[in-house]
Structure 1
């Protein structure tokens, strides 16, 4: 019975912290696009997670796991923000043109 309790707590902790990290990522992306600066999404997410960590919530296993997942989310938001603004190296084609037909007109 104790093994089942540990398993349920572990799965709940992992899925719950993943859900919170995804929701935080969505919230920061929404906030960044509302202020017309999608590149700020990753910074907003890092500020929120860093603030929770600094507020002595870092002793919680839940906050530690949310932090790990949120760091992955911040990296993804950084890439998406660069792509959204069109200033990054990820966009190598003009709008309306395919990357495969780059040499053909």
Structure 2
């Protein structure tokens, strides 16, 4: 299993830098350590994640930083295909999406 940060830590770091420029690197790191993520099979992470490895380029990070809620849905939609192929049910997958959104809201990433 891999831990997939949705959206990526780099996108969230850009979000913090833009919205809270007074936050120092230690504060940002503290926020990022607690950011929501999901455990998914390693192969699904590698094959389907929009931000795995070299796919998390600067323009992707900037797009995701503009609207973290939309980024969660886009990133989640990408891995959903792999999760369905792996045999996870649509009901369970969508419950995980709802939980990710709830965690982001609780932590104040968006409303």
Q: Larger % of helix: which? A: 1
Shorter-chain TM-score: which interval?
0.3 to 0.5
Higher relative contact order (CA 8 A, sep 6+): 2
* TM-score (structure 1 length as normaliser): 0.36
